[in-house]
Amino acid sequence: MSKKKFFIENWMVAKLGLSGNDLVLFALIWSETDGGQHPAKIDYQWSEAIGVTRPTFYNVTKKLLATGYVTQPNAGEFAIGSTVKEL
pTM, two decimals, is 0.89
For residues 28, 48, 23, 29, the Cα torsion angle rounded to the nearest 10 degrees is: 20
Q: With bands split at pLDDT 50, 70 and 90, how would you rate the model's confidence at 76?
A: confident
Q: Which CATH class is domain 20-85?
A: mainly alpha
Task: Concatenate the DSSP letters of all residues of 51-62 into one string.
Answer: T--HHHHHHHHH
Dump pLDDT digits (tens) for 24-71: 999 999 999 998 899 998 888 888 888 899 999 999 999 999 999 999
